[in-house]
Structure 1
């Protein structure tokens, strides 16, 4: 798992080039994905999906900005999967994993489509980073907690960091 993740991280950094803000955002989300996934005792396959989703979740932003002049969630979801698939296809990653990661990336702002713990963990990890980066107020944080946090680990981290 680590070998693939490290190579995918390098691909993501190369893709975003000098966009340090997005690279740092991605690395923080990836770290929370791994922490939550490990503490929630995911198996190796699930942990790989969570890790790859964390690394590639925002990979569609550049193309969305180019095509639509916007980094809005629906555009990221539309553009991200094809780019992620192209990156993952360079490595020995099985078809199921690639398809699952692409599904998560293609819906990571569509919270009603969360259909598994792997997807749930990515959403929680992304919120843990976005709460800080977007300077959300306490009301917004409480809303996010009640609506979107389901895992014991993600909820505990949210409490420790923000509440």
Structure 2
């Protein structure tokens, strides 16, 4: 199976996993869309792009388990604990290579940790999740600008953030 087909199958399985939570499904689709576009526009190599897209699709896979296990709670830290084993299992079941599943699990297990970001796949995943979360949570302009300054590093991610929220870079 080629990479595009593997990602489409992963998306299909992840949508089924999150069904019928349309809000959560829409979130992962938007994060994947931004991650895909930013990665391509930043010129990622094929392997890093594939890893990034897989991670973007499953980045919040731990939420459902967290909510069941922790009385409705699903903080970022809890997601980082519960998500990686689920991601590993799902990707392995679909035939993803071990080195890809290991990196995706790492990204899922760190996507709410904003210090010591190593790798463009990690950086772009964080930026993509923030683009969606800032919009979905209707954050105020000051929060958006602070996030822009503290989180965004890629030129494409910065440009998307400025265009989405209508501000100029300082």
- State the match for 1:85 in structure 2: 88
Task: Please give the root-mean-square deviation of Cα atoms over the aligned residues, in Å.
Answer: 0.7
Question: In the alignment, which of 4, 22, 43 is matched to residue 2 of structure 1?
Answer: 4
Contact 1:149 1:155 in 2 (8 A): yes
Q: State the SS of the aligned residue for 2:115.
A: helix
Contact 1:49 1:101 in 2 (8 A): yes
Residues 79-121 of structure 1 show CA distances to partners (whole Å, capped at 9, x for unaligned) of: 0001111110012311111100000100110111411100000
- State the match for 1:64 in structure 2: 66
- State the match for 1:117 in structure 2: 120
Contact 1:107 1:113 in 2 (8 A): no
Question: In the alignment, which of 29, 32, 40 is matched to residue 30 of structure 1?
Answer: 32
Contact 1:33 1:50 in 2 (8 A): yes
Q: Give the CA deviation at 1:71.
A: 1.3
Task: Give the TM-score taking structure 2 as reference length.
Answer: 0.94
Q: State the SS of the aligned residue for 1:111.
A: coil
- Whether 1:161 and 2:164 are equivalent positions in the alignment is yes
CA distance in 2 between partners of 1:121 and 1:152 (Å): 11
Residues 13-71 of structure 1 show CA distances to partners (whole Å, capped at 9, x for unaligned) of: 11011000000000000000000000000011000111011100000000011111201
CA distance in 1 between partners of 2:147 and 2:55 (Å): 20
Q: Give the CA deviation at 1:76.
A: 0.6
Q: Count residues in correspondence.
A: 163
Dislocated runs of 4+, deviation >3 Å: none
CA distance in 1 between partners of 2:13 and 2:117 (Å): 26
Task: Give the TM-score taking structure 1 as reference length.
Answer: 0.98
